[in-house]
Structure 1
Amino acid sequence: MHTTIEPGILYFGTPVVLISTVNEDGSCNLAPMSSAFWLGWRCMLGLAAGSKTPQNMRRTGECVLNLPSVDLVAAVDRLALTTGSDPVPPMKQRKGYRHQPDKFAKAGLTEIASETVAAPRVAECPVQLEARVEAVHGIADDDAILKGHIQCFEVRVQRVHVDPAILMDGARDRIDPDKWRPLIMSFQQFYGLGPRVHDSRLGTIPEAAYRTPDVDRARTAATRLQAAAG
C-alpha cells in the first residue's frame, strides 16, 4: 500500500553539474546544480532565472558543463550556499547564501582554457562539455507567482573532453559506465552509483544509432572560433 505525501521537492536523483561561465568583468563563475538531463548532444538545465549563472548564459550564449566524480564531493560542497551575484538576491539571502567572487579558489579547483568557448573548464572533473545556448524555455509560466523565476536552458554540446581512465577498453569514443562514477544529488544529499545491477537490453543497441547532426556541427566549432579570433 502506497501513501500519498506532499514533499517540498521531487529531486529523486540526478548527476551534479558544475557550470562555468564568464562574468561581465571577464572573471569566471562556477555554480553547482543538479537539474540536468541529456538527449543526444543536447542538455536541458533547470535554473533559477535571477542567479548569476543563467544571467551569464543569456548574455554570452555559452558555458561549460563540468561533471564531477564522487571523489570531488568535498570541492563541490564548498560551493554550497555561495553565489556570484552581488548583492545577493533576496531569495538567496533568506536561504543563507553569501557572495563569493572567486568560486574556483573557494572550491580548490583549477581553471583550464576551453577550445570553443570563453568559459573555462574544471581541470579536476573527468568530464568537461563545452556548450552553446540554443534556447531558453520558461518553466511554470502558467503560475502568476512562479512566472519568470525558473528557466530551462537548452544547450548544445560542441566539444567533449574526458579522462581516458573512464573510456571503454578498445573503444575510443565510448564511456565505460563501470568506470565512470558520477556524483549524484538526491533530496539535497550526495550519493554515488553502485555496481551494475542488471544487463540492459537497450545496451544491445549500438551507440552510433543515437548519433545526431550536432556531432558533425561540433567538429567545426573550434575552426569558427579561431577564424573569429584571427
Structure 2
Amino acid sequence: MHKATDLKVLYFGTPVVLISSRNEDGGANLAPMSSAWWLGQSCVLGLGNTAQTAVNLRREGECVLNLPSSGQVDAVDALALLTANPDVTEHRRQQGYRFERGKFAAAGLTEQPSELVRAPRVAECPVQLECRLEAAAPLAGNPHCTAFEVTVVRAHVEERLLVPGTDHYVDPLGWDPLIMKFCEFFGDGRRLAPSRLAEGWQMPGRLPAGVRA
C-alpha cells in the first residue's frame, strides 16, 4: 500500500560531487553536492544561489567535478557545513554552517592543476571532470536555486578504474562512488559514517554522532 506524503527531501541516492572553482581573489573553493544528473558529456548541477560555488560558476564559467570514492567520506563530511561565502545567513548559522576559505586544507585534500580550466582538481579523487558552463536557469519551483548546465571538456580517471585493455570505459565493479542518500553517506551498499549535513538539517533516523555503521 502506498501513502500520499509531502516528502521534505528527495535525495534518493546520487553520487557525491566535490565541485572545485576559483574565488574572486583567485583562491580555490571546494564544495560537496549531490544534486547532479548526467547525459552524454553534459551535466546539470543544482545549487543554491547564495552558495559561493554558484557565484564562482557565474563569474568564471568553469569548474571541476571531482568524484570521491566511498573511502573518502571523512574528507567530504569535513566540508559539509563550511561555506566560502562570508555572508552566512542566520538560517545557515543555525544549521551549523561557518565561513571558511581554506576548503582544501580543511578537508585534508590537495590541489592539482587542471589542463583546460583554471579551477584546480582534487588530487585524491579517482575521477576528475574539467567542465565549462553552457547555461544557467532558475528552477521553476524554487527561485532560490539555479540549474547549471556544464559540458565535460576533459576527464581524468585513475588507471585502476579503467576496463583492462581500454582507455574509455570505467569498470563498474572497480568503481565504488560515495553516495548521498537522504543526507546520509553510503558506499558498497551500506551506510558509512555519521553525516554533519544530516545533523544540521535535523534529519530523523540519522546515525548517532560518533557511531559508524
Q: Same fold (TM over 0.5)?
A: yes
- Counterpart of 2:205 in structure 1 is none
- Counterpart of 1:221 in structure 2 is none
Distance 2:15 2:91 in 1: 24
Contact 1:49 1:55 in 2 (8 A): yes
The correspondence of residues 118-133 of structure 1 with structure 2, limited to 5 A, is 118-133=118-133
- Counterpart of 1:117 in structure 2 is 117
Distance 1:57 1:90 in 2: 24
Q: How many residues in Structure 1 have an aligned counterpart in Structure 2?
A: 190
Q: Which runs of 5+ in 2 are unaligned?
A: 190-213
- Counterpart of 1:223 in structure 2 is none
Distance 1:79 1:179 in 2: 26
Alignment partner of 1:92: what SS? helix
The correspondence of residues 79-98 of structure 1 with structure 2, limited to 5 A, is 79-98=79-98
The correspondence of residues 163-182 of structure 1 with structure 2, limited to 5 A, is 163-182=158-177
Structure 1, residues 47-95: CA drift from partner, whole Å, max 9, x if none?
A: 0011100000000000000000000000000001100001213442232
Alignment partner of 1:138: what SS? strand
Query: What amino acid sits opposite 2:99 in the alignment?
Result: H
Q: Check if 1:192 corresponds to 2:187.
A: yes
Query: What amino acid sits opposite 1:41 in the alignment?
Result: Q
How far the C-alpha of 1:170 sits from its partner, in A, is 1.4
Structure 1, residues 174-214: CA drift from partner, whole Å, max 9, x if none?
A: 000000000000000000144xxxxxxxxxxxxxxxxxxxx
- Alpha carbon RMSD of aligned pairs, Å? 1.3
Contact 1:184 1:193 in 2 (8 A): no
The correspondence of residues 1-230 of structure 1 with structure 2, limited to 5 A, is 1-140=1-140, 146-147=142-143, 149-194=144-189
Distance 1:89 1:99 in 2: 11
Alignment partner of 1:180: what SS? coil
Distance 1:106 1:122 in 2: 13
Q: TM-score, normalised by structure 1?
A: 0.80
Q: Which runs of 5+ in 1 are unaligned?
A: 195-230
How far the C-alpha of 1:7 sits from its partner, in A, is 2.1
How far the C-alpha of 1:12 sits from its partner, in A, is 0.3
The structure number with the bigger radius of gyration is 1
Alignment partner of 1:182: what SS? coil
Distance 2:9 2:172 in 1: 28
Structure 1, residues 162-181: CA drift from partner, whole Å, max 9, x if none?
A: 00010001111100000000
Distance 1:189 1:172 in 2: 33
Distance 2:91 2:131 in 1: 28
**Bigger proportion of residues as strand:** 2
Q: TM-score, normalised by structure 2?
A: 0.86
Distance 1:56 1:92 in 2: 19
Alignment partner of 2:87: what SS? coil
Contact 1:17 1:66 in 2 (8 A): yes
Structure 1 segments of 4 or more deviating over 3 A?
A: none
Distance 1:51 1:89 in 2: 11
**Bigger proportion of residues as helix:** 1
Q: Percent identity?
A: 56
